[in-house]
Amino acid sequence: MTDLLQDLNVYLVGMMGTGKTTVGRLIAQHLQYGFLDTDDVITKAAGKTINEVFAENGEEAFRNLESDVLSQVCAYTKLAVATGGGIILRRRNWSYLHHGLVVWLDAPIDVLYDRLAADTTRPLLQDADPKEKLRTLAAGRQALYSEADLHITITHDETPEQVAQKIITAIPSVLKSNISLN
Ligand X SMILES: O=C(O)C1=C[C@@H](OP(=O)(O)O)[C@@H](O)[C@H](O)C1
Binding region for ligand ADP (CB under 6 A): 16-22, 82, 115, 158-160, 163
Report the partner that residue 124 touches, choosing among ligand X, ligand ADP, Mg ion, none (CB closer than 5 to 8 A by kind): ligand X
- CB of 43: closest distance to ligand X in angstroms? 10
Residue nearest to ligand X (CB): 84
Q: Is 133 annotated as a binding residue?
A: no
**Nearest to residue 61, comparing CAs of 75, 46, 44, 72?**
46
Cα 119 to Cα 117: distance, rounded to the nearest angstrom: 6
Answer for the pair 55, 123: CB distance below 8 angstroms, yes or no: yes
Report the partner that residue 160 touches, choosing among ligand X, Mg ion, ligand ADP, none (CB closer than 5 to 8 A by kind): ligand ADP
- CB of 168: closest distance to Mg ion in angstroms? 19
Report the partner that residue 100 touches, choosing among Mg ion, ligand X, ligand ADP, none (CB closer than 5 to 8 A by kind): none
* Smaller CB separation from Mg ion, 130 or 175: 130
Q: Is 20 annotated as a binding residue?
A: yes
Q: Is 129 annotated as a binding residue?
A: no
Residues of this chain that interact with Mg ion (CB under 5 A) are: 20-21
Cα–Cα–Cα angle for 8, 11, 13, nearest 5°? 160
- CB of 39: closest distance to ligand X in angstroms? 5
* Smaller CB separation from ligand ADP, 17 or 100: 17
- CB of 19: closest distance to ligand ADP in angstroms? 3
The torsion region of residue 47 among left (phi > 0), alpha (psi -120 to 50) and beta comes to left
**Nearest to residue 23, comparing CAs of 126, 180, 168?**
168
Residues of this chain that interact with ligand X (CB under 6 A) are: 16, 20-21, 39, 50, 84-86, 122-124
**Nearest to residue 8, comparing CAs of 175, 182, 181, 180?**
175
Cα 56 to Cα 62: distance, rounded to the nearest angstrom: 10
Q: Is 121 annotated as a binding residue?
A: no
Residue 92: phi and psi, rounded to 5, are -55, -35
Cα–Cα–Cα angle for 164, 124, 107, nearest 5°? 30
Annotated binding-site residues read: 17-22, 39, 63, 85, 122, 141
